[in-house]
């Protein structure tokens, strides 16, 4: 398997997972929407990194790697890089809380429709940008 094939595979997985978000939203599983959105963003961005020849790290927020390798990214990605980085960082922060919660943070109580909508919008945005790179 080539690096580009693996990058395309990541993007395919991210794109297919977008469909899950609507089901979770209809079920009012808002914390699950946030968690899945994070995974979609992570897959798409790791696909982007692979596509430009960078082995992605084994952690969830790849924004530092994107920053370090700006010169390898297409201009239209650079124009949106600040937004992409904010999305990746924000969803990474929510990753564990959205899934596991904590003693004083019950995910099913803490996340609402607006949180879920923002996460979906962010995931769609990142997948669209990465789709323009990986064809």
Asked whether the CA dihedral 65, 69, 70, 76 is positive or negative, the reply is negative
pLDDT, tens digit (0-9, with 9 covering 90-100), for 16-64? 999 999 999 999 999 999 999 999 999 999 999 999 999 998 889 999 9
What pTM was computed for the model? 0.94
* CB neighbourhood size of 61 (10 A): 21
Structure tokens at 77: 């990605």
pLDDT of res. 69:
95
Average model confidence (pLDDT) for the chain? 95
3-class SS of residue 105: strand
Domains by residue range for the chain, with CATH? 3-133 (1.20.120.330)
């Amino acid at each position: 398997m080539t690096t580009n094939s693996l990058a395309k595979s990541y993007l395919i997985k991210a794109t297919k997972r977008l469909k899950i978000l609507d089901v979770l939203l209809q079920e009012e599983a808002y914390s699950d929407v946030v968690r899945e959105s994070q995974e979609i963003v992570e897959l798409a961005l790791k696909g982007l990194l692979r596509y430009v020849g960078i082995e992605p790290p084994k952690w969830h927020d790849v924004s530092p790697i994107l920053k370090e390798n700006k010169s390898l990214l297409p201009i239209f990605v650079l124009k949106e890089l600040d937004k992409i980085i904010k999305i990746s960082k924000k969803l990474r922060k929510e990753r564990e809380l959205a899934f596991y919660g904590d003693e004083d943070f019950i995910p099913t109580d803490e996340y609402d429709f607006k949180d879920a909508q923002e996460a979906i919008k962010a995931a769609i945005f990142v997948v669209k940008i990465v789709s323009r790179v990986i064809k």
